[in-house]
Chain A
Amino acid sequence: MRRLGPAAPEVTIEFEGKPLPAREGEPAACALLVAGETVFSRSIKYHRPRGPFCMAASCSNCLVRIDGVPNRFACQTPVRQGMRIERQNAYPSVKVDVFSSIDWLFPKGMDHHSMFAGVPVAEKVMATVARHLAGLGLLPDAAPPPARPAELLRVDVAVVGAGPAGLAATEVLATAGKPPLVLEQEDRVGGRDALDAPEDGRDGPARIPAGAQLRLGTSVLGLYDDELGRVLLAVQRDPEGARVLLVQARDTLFAIGGHASTLPFENNDIPGVFSGRAVADLLRRRRLLVGDAPIVVGHGPQLLPLAALLRAEGAAPRLVLHTGEGGQPPGTVQGTPSRAHGRTWVHGLSYRVAPGGERRVDCDAVALTLPPSPAFELLRQAGVKIAFRPELGTFTPDVDSDGRTSIAGIWAAGDLVRPGTASAAVEAGRRAARGMLQR
């Protein structure tokens, strides 16, 4: 992990009681990785090493204790001068963790339901041990300051997610004189156009059109239907702190894409294995290169652009492993990852090729780029039907080609509906906006 080019002013943070240089405002995870701290904490059951994977608050691999508060996402918490970061769930230290022996005792997994069941003394001992090993962080040091008052917003149209689909929809709505409220989780608009590797024919993120009201740093957490009517629960986080937003909209377009997915292979959870989005985001937004000799694994529209982006930034990918079915893209090897090598950081990958045969390639990072798993949760909560698509290997919501769902006032577009290219997401966003205007 190394820095490319200049960054924000340097500050000093405290990690496990020791001073560490960091760049103001970057996520705490970046500061730790650059300092060579690869293991942030130990995992909950087997005490396996954990370091950042998704950099998008969609997994739990980067949780640490920050300023006396347990289980904070290091990938989401901006560095400030004097910030205190501590590891979790490791005894006596993260390097020598006695409980990592559990990982060796249960090589494949464990069925805690039947373990020692009914064996008089063993059962009692196990219950006591389990109780003390459970949980991640310790209680917070202190109570938080009183929360800022919640804000209630009533709008005609809310667009959730300012990626290609959301921005395209916003553009159409604004042009028609109906600019929406746009809620974006990140600190900038653009979604994959800003954070992922640039795809063919895309020249960066679209702008937010005039008239649209934009809330950055705002995650939508729930879609409730209660005394207030249908209401979105959102939390906006900015340097002054966090506050709750309650949004009531006649129409809501969900364009929130998906979550980073995983592939099952041995040691797929060790530090140094990142989601493709994380690798691209670290490069583009944070100017950090995860490795000089990485391996790119996966399939979908990001596989080749990510390899190209890494090359353009001076890395030499050791292997681009295509795991998808159908046409094998040029310059890739067709295969399935079988095992990542390394303990506290990945240093190699074994993979199977047809017909039979396993190869191993050394590396200093792995980028796992797969089509995202649609983030259908909020749509499901609204009552939209969700179905498993074996050909995609994910669940998708039931949405028509104009972004309409079976629930009045609930629309969806982009990767959330069907993982694809950024250009396809733009088209879907536009169609959904036109549909909303016709209503």
Chain B
Amino acid sequence: MSKSVLCTCEDVTVDDVRHAIDKGHRDIESIKRYTGFGTGFCQGKTCLSAVARTLAERTGAPAGAVLPFTPRPPLHPVEMSLLGSVPVDESVPPKGGVPPVIQLGSHALRPAEPVPARTRVVIVGGGIMGLALAHNLAKLGCTEVVVLERGYLCAGASGRNGGGVRMQWGTGINVELARRSIELMKQFAGETGINVWLRQGGYLFLARTEAVAERLRASAELHNKHGVKTQILSPGEGRDVVPELTMKGVVLCAYNPDDGVIFPWPFLWGYAQSAQRRGVRVETFTTVTGFDLSGGRVQAVETDRGRIACEMVVIAGGAWSPEVAKLAGVQLPNAPHRHEILSTEPLKPFLTPLVTVLDSGLYFSQSMRGEIVGGMGDPLEPAGMNMGSTLRFLSRFSRALTEQIPRLGEIKVLRQWAGPYDVTPDNNPVLGRTPGLPNMLQMSGFVGHGFMMAPAVAERMAAWMLHDAQDELFTRFDLQRFRTGKLERETMIIG
């Protein structure tokens, strides 16, 4: 069959690119994510210019609005065994990273027309939280909603995570939220018309110390009480689940076969499209510049495309929430922490569950496309917004991964990137009302697991907002708790 192929690595045709443009993906980052072009072996070397020309021809976009996608290191595929040979000084904190500048809020891509002058709810942040909330509000009949996103959809942490979803948590409330989320993910394609490729391959936790093993045992007991089938396995039994693992240094495993992974990007598009179909406005490349506060309330949200008068505003900016809230004089206790991640060449499926070493924060899974996608926290990572990629991470991750699966030493890394965890003092979210500003609502602080919690949290938040339901979620995790000191700590954080 005759095809005009632009990206031969991922078999993306000229028609695929045109189709994505016609579906509203008008910037190269979004076209890359929708079509998959540039995500394969060559990382766009052969095809990027040709896609840029197609975009310019199709939309008449001025040259200044045709921006390349962020080139991810490494420039050529490189084996993990080589990367692991890079020396790392683990006594000093990580520093810097590339690329230094992320082109968020690019003026060239900002739409010319003004934002709506008035609406009922403004949601700041077009990540998974904000879009899931918009979708749920619209479903309950509240369609006067404007979602503001500074970049393209997927520019923030929602587009940067590994797509893991699990019920193995350390507190009952998180177990329940995750379980509901997974239920909703199963219904997602039917509801929104977009596949998110949920694959329930399980999560296999590995513990290397007795202290961590004890945490796994205690949480497994909790899971079982909630009807989640987590089993405690010996390292040998763990190897029955993933035969390639060496289990080096591992004392105990916990395994829940119903956990899984999804593909993050379509999740955002699905929520956005579903909300938009019901009348919600999703405004990308639009930056919030301030709030009009008078009479003890938020009267309007100021943006670089004009002012939107509103009845309620929701801060759902993930790790960027503190800087947004600050514009209204509100201090949030959240702090961003960089977490790095990488993706390898695609392999035929061999790895079923997501594997994680809770002690070191190493995690890896095999995506539906066959890549090994994984990350690892850095104990010395300082707080602060930094989405740079480091050589240190490549080296630490490669060593940790190949210790568990030595054969992956031959596997080549195709790209690395980073995203911010939105960390709170007790590893639990910030939800509910803002003291002193009753119509500003908070929806952030999910410490790197917001993606999997969003469907359930947004469902409850929409009901709580519109029907003033008595939902304890929004008092239990409100901002007040940091004043009263009533904190319960979540201990099953990966990274």
24 A-B pairs in the complex with CB atoms less than 8 angstroms apart: A45-B10, A48-B3, A58-B46, A108-B15, A108-B16, A109-B13, A113-B195, A118-B189, A127-B368, A131-B368, A134-B348, A135-B349, A138-B348, A140-B408, A140-B409, A221-B75, A222-B98, A226-B97, A226-B391, A243-B85, A262-B47, A269-B3, A339-B2, A390-B63
Contact flags (1/0) for A323-354 with B, using CB distance below 8 Å? 00000000000000001000000000000000
How far, in angstroms, from A225 to B5 measured CA to CA in the complex?
Answer: 36
Stretch from B88-96, B173-181, B429-437 contacting the other chain: B88-96
How far, in angstroms, from A179 to B381 measured CA to CA in the complex?
Answer: 39
How far, in angstroms, from A109 to B37 measured CA to CA in the complex?
Answer: 12
| With known contacts A108-B13, A143-B410, A135–B199 Cβ distance under 8 A | no
Say whether A269 contacts B97, CB under 8 Å. Answer: no
| With known contacts A109-B15, A261-B49, A269–B5 Cβ distance under 8 A | yes
Scoring B76, B96, B392 by chain A CB atoms within 10 A of each residue's CB, the highest score goes to: B76
> Which listed residue, B40, B82, B94, touches A227 by the CB 8 Å rule?
B94
> Which listed residue, A46, A243, A375, touches B11 by the CB 8 Å rule?
A46
Nearest CB of A to B431, in Å: 30
Given contacts A123-B195, A134-B346, A147-B81, 13 further A-B contacts (CB under 8 A): A134-B368, A135-B370, A137-B345, A137-B347, A140-B411, A141-B407, A143-B410, A149-B85, A221-B75, A224-B97, A224-B98, A224-B389, A261-B50
Q: Does B4 contact A (CB under 8 A)?
A: yes
Scoring A63, A150, A388, A389 by chain B CB atoms within 10 A of each residue's CB, the highest score goes to: A388
How far, in angstroms, from A54 to B46 measured CA to CA in the complex?
Answer: 9
Scoring A58, A127, A132, A222 by chain B CB atoms within 10 A of each residue's CB, the highest score goes to: A222
Total A residues in contact with B, Cβ cutoff 8 Å: 99
Contact flags (1/0) for B367-410 with A, using CB distance below 8 Å? 11111000000000000000011111000000000100011111
Say whether B82 contacts A225, CB under 8 Å. Answer: no
Interface residues of B in 64-94 (CB under 8 A from A): 64, 66-68, 70-71, 73-79, 81-87, 89, 92, 94
Q: Does B34 contact A (CB under 8 A)?
A: yes
Contacts of A92 in B (CB 8 A): none
A149: nearest residue on chain B (CB-CB)? B85
Say whether B3 contacts A109, CB under 8 Å. Answer: yes
| With known contacts A71-B412, A110-B16, A266–B269 Cβ distance under 8 A | no
Nearest CB of A to B366, in Å: 8
Nearest CB of A to B400, in Å: 15
| With known contacts A108-B3, A131-B199, A226-B392, A393–B41 Cβ distance under 8 A | no
How far, in angstroms, from A221 to B370 measured CA to CA in the complex?
Answer: 23
> Which listed residue, A104, A108, A141, A222, touches B391 by the CB 8 Å rule?
A222
How far, in angstroms, from A17 to B96 measured CA to CA in the complex?
Answer: 49
Say whether B9 contacts A104, CB under 8 Å. Answer: no
> Which listed residue, A219, A220, A383, A390, touches B56 by the CB 8 Å rule?
A390
Say whether B8 contacts A242, CB under 8 Å. Answer: no
Q: Does A378 contact B (CB under 8 A)?
A: yes
Q: Does B295 contact A (CB under 8 A)?
A: no
Task: Name A residues whose Cβ lies closer than 8 Å to a Cβ of B.
Answer: 43-46, 48, 50, 53-54, 57-61, 63, 69-71, 103-104, 107-118, 120, 123, 126-127, 130-132, 134-144, 146-150, 219-227, 231, 233, 235, 242-244, 246, 259-269, 339, 373, 375-378, 380-383, 386-390, 393-395
A106: nearest residue on chain B (CB-CB)? B1
Query: Nearest 3 pairs between A and B by C-beta?
Result: A135-B370, A60-B41, A118-B190
> Which listed residue, B11, B16, B42, B99, touches A43 by the CB 8 Å rule?
B11
Contacts of B13 in A (CB 8 A): 108-109
Say whether B8 contacts A225, CB under 8 Å. Answer: no
Say whether B82 contacts A147, CB under 8 Å. Answer: yes
A112: nearest residue on chain B (CB-CB)? B195
Contact flags (1/0) for B1-26 with A, using CB distance below 8 Å? 11111101111111110010000000
How far, in angstroms, from A261 to B412 measured CA to CA in the complex?
Answer: 23
> Which listed residue, A111, A143, A261, A387, touches B406 by the CB 8 Å rule?
A143
Q: Does B276 contact A (CB under 8 A)?
A: no
Nearest CB of A to B107, in Å: 13
Say whether A136 contacts B346, CB under 8 Å. Answer: yes
How far, in angstroms, from A433 to B244 measured CA to CA in the complex?
Answer: 52
Contacts of B68 in A (CB 8 A): 376, 380, 386, 388, 395
Say whether A143 contacts B347, CB under 8 Å. Answer: no
Nearest CB of B to A243, in Å: 7
Say whether A109 contacts B346, CB under 8 Å. Answer: no
